[in-house]
Chain A
Amino acid sequence: MAIKDRMSGNEAVAYAIKQVNPDVMPAFPITPSTEIPQLVSNYIANGEMDTEFIPVESEHSSMSATVGAESAGARSLTATSSCGLALMWEELLVAASNRLPLVLALVNRTLSGPININCDHSDSMGARDTGWIQIYAENNQEAYDNFIQAYPIAEDPRVHLPVMVCQDGFITSHAVQNILLEEDDKVKEFVGEYKPEEFLLNPGKPMAVGPYSVSNYAMEAKYNQEKAMENSGKVILEVAERFKKTFGRGFGFFEEYKTDDAEYIMLIMGSAAGTAKQAVDDLRAKGMKVGVLKLRVFRPFPADEIAKALSGCKAVAIMDRTESYNGHGGPLSSEVPAALFRNKVNIEAVSYIYGLAGRDFMVETAYEIFEELRDVVENGKKVKQHRYIGLRTREEQ
């Protein structure tokens, strides 16, 4: 039986780590993910788990040591946020290209500058092309559930890629919510034993990791890595299906909230999806047909599935919690319209930037966005693409 409890997102992920009891965890403190290594250290100190913890001297070293440990044949992980992720950027690429199935518990926080400790998605979005699977959570329960699914996805022989399990800094990581925790033995059974095929510490079967590769070979390595990312979609769904059978909670690439007959849909990731759902409930009570598409899996990007899910609506609001500084929108507002275009789905799409560096996303703001979409469709209102919402001063139109 699942156990009812109350926990913050950080506590939920640390609890999942305790249950999985991986072999090695190097980590370095950074707000707001610091609690995760702290809680793990406490579990170890109290004999509740026996993972080998390495208190490294930087995030570059935490990912370097994680790469070393995973290559050696140990199930490994680390946790970080923001600048910590930026410092380990080089190593993110090494982990993925060496096809190491390690896991990173990421607590999303904005990147400098100005230095700020609050949530946006600029850290993980900055690492979106490093070859990692990225899964985002709306709340503590999803952070917990996603972590439990991470190793089965990463370690699948069809995948062999690292997984970033993301939750929103403070909003999810520090806010205490109700949660259903699963029993230890069931979690361990779901995750299974780690049995790598090749590893450094295999006596009598030496292995070499991290070659120099000339142009005659390197491109194939990159192609195979992309193929693994493509394969991972199927595996993510299989693992989600098994999770549903075992624990009763279902997951897909995204969650469709009241989208069946929706004319206007907000596409959003992370904790703000909860706010968007509230707005949908309120507007539906007034007779407006609106819905939310909450993206859970950003890498691999489920382009065709998103296009299909949006094909029946009249307009979509694409919500980016990060800036790309490219002059025309955030990452979602580049990738979603591309998916629509490829699939010949011709609907209105407006890109919004919200919630940077911890700026609140309010239900009222979501109302306005839905109303603006309606205005665009019904009255032909011309709106600026790449709109900033929630600024202190009104954006120049």
Chain B
Amino acid sequence: MAGYNLKEVMSKPERLTPGHRMCAGCGGTIAVRAVLRALHEGDYAVIGNATGCLEVSSFMYPYTAWTDSYVHNAFENAGATLSGVETAYKALKKRGRLPEDAQFKFITFGGDGGTYDIGFQSLSGAMERGHDMVYVCYDNGAYMNTGIQRSSATPRFADTTTTPVGKESTGKMQSRKDLAAIIADHDVPYVAQTTFTKDFKDIHLKSEKAIYTEGAAFLNVMAPCPRGWRYDTADIMKVCQLGIDTCYWPMFEVDHGKWTLTYEPKKKLPIEDFLREQGRFKHLFKPGNEHLIEQFQQEVDRRWEDLLYKCSR
């Protein structure tokens, strides 16, 4: 953890430039900028992107906000597309068609819809084949680009447009898929889960490790969406901190099979502290719904215990 200097890191030139059309306070762009800051100066990159908010708002013909080479293909194939790019790099290097000193890194971004759901097979294939690339999921827990429909990353009880709360419904019925663990089970060299902390140290160090570890790497970044989660836009850092302090979104890494917790809250907060900030969980605080919060808490506790066990081995 030595050598991290917030001021220095934040002074690096932006590789995703201002002028894109993402919402103010969007967690997705914060995630992208944080990951790209971990690229070493002088290294080239090809950025991949699954269809989603980020793509349609950052590369609208004839403008692009990306200073690196960038490829968008479709919704479900960011993994496969970048695996083709990375293999092309190998082929061209081998055949002497690229300058000897040109080092390229391969990073692809997808929302949870494009990663957990429709792009899951493509991601799994790319990870299993071991391409030297990083797949970054900016997880905002729903299909935000099409208007807040549930995904398999959506937490239980969330009010989305396809799991609306109503007389007969308390929101989404299922718990979220634990994608970081699933990708770790692909036995890839590096997997990490992170989000935004005040010093951006955790996400920076994990991004750097992911980018500069040889082989396939996966980063799962909780990237709150003020529209979908319905919190006050300015409160994004507070929401993230509550996510990790309630252990809803634990921060950990799996480095060559070794699980390590990278943040342990001094005091584990009750889950309602995280839920209370967000309009999508408003119904849970109606009298008579206490048992729903209790169920949510049990699920968080069970997963937290499981993670502690994995990290203790």
Contacts and interface: CB of A to CB of B under 8 A. Distances in A.
B51 to A, nearest CB: 9
Which of B59, B71, B72 counts the most A-chain CB atoms under 10 A from its CB? B71
Interface stretch (A1-9, A46-54, A261-269, A377-385): A46-54
A22 to B, nearest CB: 9
A65 B83 contact: yes
Contacts of B102: 203
A71 interface: yes
Interface in A67-88: 67-74, 76
Interface string A192-213: 0000000011111011111111
A219 to B, nearest CB: 12
A115 interface: no
Given A57-B124, A61-B80, A208-B59, A69 B99 contact: no
A56 interface: yes
Contacts of A201: 46, 69, 85, 88-89, 92, 98, 104
Interface string A202-236: 11101111111110011000000000000000000
A60 B94 CA distance: 27
Interface in B70-88: 70-74, 76-77, 79-85, 87-88
Contacts of B68: 206
Contacts of A23: 88, 91-92, 95
Contact of A68 (B71, B92, B98, B104): B71
B61 A72 contact: no
A47 to B, nearest CB: 13
Contacts of B162: none
Contacts of B60: 211-214
B200 interface: no
B72 A207 contact: no
Contacts of A94: 73-74
Interface in B47-79: 48, 55-57, 59-62, 64, 66-74, 76-77, 79
Interface of A: 23-24, 26, 50-52, 54-58, 60-62, 64-74, 76, 90-91, 94, 200-204, 206-214, 217-218
A196 to B, nearest CB: 10
B216 to A, nearest CB: 13
Which of A50, A56, A65 counts the most B-chain CB atoms under 10 A from its CB? A65
Contacts of B48: 68
B71 A24 contact: no
Contacts of B125: 56-58, 61
A60 B76 CA distance: 9
Given A60-B76, A201-B92, A72 B59 contact: no
A65 B56 contact: no
A343 to B, nearest CB: 38
Contact of A55 (B66, B94, B129): B129
A77 B163 CA distance: 42
Which of B79, B91, B92 counts the most A-chain CB atoms under 10 A from its CB? B91
A66 B84 contact: yes
B44 interface: yes
A69 B88 contact: yes
Which of B60, B61, B67, B68 counts the most A-chain CB atoms under 10 A from its CB? B61
Contacts of A54: 83-84, 87, 129
A60 B91 contact: no
B84 A26 contact: yes
Identify the 5 closest CB pairs spanning chains A and B, nearest first.
A68-B84, A65-B84, A57-B125, A72-B88, A74-B88
Contacts of B46: 72, 200-201
B95 A68 contact: no
B122 A64 contact: yes
Nearest to B71: A209
Given A26-B84, A203-B44, A208 B69 contact: yes
6 contacts: A57-B128, A66-B84, A206-B66, A210-B71, A211-B61, A217-B62
B54 to A, nearest CB: 11
A68 B121 contact: no
Nearest to A217: B61
A60 B125 CA distance: 11
Which of A68, A72, A204 counts the most B-chain CB atoms under 10 A from its CB? A68
A57 B121 contact: yes
Contacts of B70: 200, 206-209
A58 B84 contact: no
B90 interface: yes
Contact of A210 (B62, B72, B87): B72
Contacts of A73: 88, 92, 97
A221 to B, nearest CB: 8
A211 B69 CA distance: 12
A136 B198 CA distance: 62
A76 B84 contact: yes
B144 to A, nearest CB: 16
A65 B122 CA distance: 10
Interface string B136-152: 00000000000000000
A203 B42 CA distance: 10
Contacts of B44: 203-204, 206
Contacts of A71: 71, 84-85
Nearest to B82: A68
Contacts of A61: 77, 79-80, 83, 121-122, 125
B122 A60 contact: yes
Contacts of B91: 23-24, 51-52, 69, 74
A229 to B, nearest CB: 21
Interface in B99-148: 99, 102, 104, 121-122, 124-125, 128-129
Contacts of A91: 73-74, 77
Interface in B24-59: 44, 46, 48, 55-57, 59
Contacts of B61: 211-214, 217-218
Given A61-B122, A206-B68, A211-B64, A69 B84 contact: yes
Given A57-B124, A210-B59, 20 more contacts: A24-B91, A54-B84, A56-B129, A58-B122, A60-B76, A61-B80, A61-B83, A61-B122, A62-B80, A67-B73, A69-B88, A70-B84, A71-B84, A72-B71, A72-B92, A74-B87, A76-B84, A91-B77, A200-B46, A201-B88
B87 A52 contact: yes
Contact of B88 (A24, A206, A210): A24
